[in-house]
Amino acid sequence: MKIDQKSAFTLVDDACKKQFGCSIADATKQQAYKSLCLVIKDILIEKNVEFTKTVKDKESKQVYYMSMEFLVGTSLRNNICNLKLEKQFTAALKKADINIEELYEMEPDAGLGNGGLGRLASCYMDSLSSLGIPATGYSIRYEFGIFKQKIIDGWQMEFPDDWLNLGDVWLSARTDESVEVKFGGRVEESFGENGYKANHVDYSSIIAVPYDMYISGYDSKAVNKLVLWSAKSPKSLDMTAFSRGDYAKALEENTKAEVISKILYPADDHMDGKILRIKQQYFFVSASLQTIVSKHFKKYSTLDNLADKVSVHINDTHPALCVPELMRILMDDYGYGWDDAWEITQKTLSYTNHTVMSEALERWSEGMFRDQLPRIYQIVAEINRRLLQKLHEIYPGDYA
């Protein structure tokens, strides 16, 4: 669709009327900002649909980038520039006596990252889109990003970063494609005609709801997606507790679930913080890999060719649970034996580490890890056992 100044004005004016019931000329600054964002998002969605169809028809290999952070910055100016539409929309808004620079200034940084790790992840997504490579980023839809800080009476004070107040306009929820993630419980083991079977029981469910953020490339036909997971409880309200007047208890389960996607990097200098961090990491890893594998199986009816069509990249140590989780999915959900699952996993996953300091690695007490992720613990223990066995064959007697 070719857009000139006239059609740009019509698009923004129509969006404002539909969303806020007024013309763009009568809109508040916030209404004008959101109307423009919605128009740009619609253009990105249209391009993404076209690009996705081309990729699907060609059966191109898909890149999936797993990161706890994506420091995308502000989206409005970036997307308008990448689409080469700044001149048209600047002139269109000027007609309604609106300065586009003032709208740019309103937008908060998306609270999805902290520093270099998150900025690198976003740069990769920008580059992949600019180069026309089909790629999807996966992370968490943090309700509050990296905290804001102010110095008050000589002390650093931390305040929540409520970026979603204006940033939510860029996100599209897909509640019908939500995924269940399991925590706690225990594993029941059995042997039958098809060999070993692990059954995860008595677990607690968290529902992962996907939100799409569209990533444009500069002067490119490609528009990729960043999928952000939000945590919900499958039982949002305990009616029995509510009916007896225990209102706090009635909402307790949903509050426990939602805390997983509440804030970027919660403090982990206490046990509850450590548990929350491991839940965050497994939550987005499991939801993402379940979706990736399911999508592939739906198209090809096999996972034998997963590594030929899918490349999953782990950004630093935070998504390291991708390894045992992909093994779990292949073995428990799709019936693969260990050796075949391990071969597919090794060929599908790749990893970038951003430091060689041991204190930067993910470390969990064995008991806590086993309690929170019993099946994943079993798989990690078996990976370790097989590695040690292999090393003993190469270096017999060298136990250290």
- Helix axis angle, 29-58 relative to 86-95, nearest 10°? 150
Report the length, in residues, of the chain: 400
Spans of the chain below 50 pLDDT: 247
CATH class of 5-147+154-394: alpha beta
Among 22, 40, 16, CA closest to 170:
40
> Following DSSP, what letter does each residue of 335-368 receive, concatenated?
---HHHHHHHHHHHEEEE-S---GGGS----HHH
pLDDT of residue 270: 86
Residue 188, H or E segment: strand 186-192
Of all helices (H) and strands (E), which one includes residue 164?
Answer: helix 164-167
CB 103 within 8 A of CB 16: no
Q: Given this model, what pLDDT does residue 246 score?
A: 56
The answer to whether the CB of 356 falls within 8 A of the CB of 317 is no
CA 272, chain centre distance (Å): 23
Strand partners, 310: 62
231 vs 252: CA distance, rounded Å: 14
Which residue type occupies 359?
E
Q: Where are the domains of the chain?
A: 5-147+154-394
Q: How far apart are CA 262 and CA 160, in angstroms?
A: 10
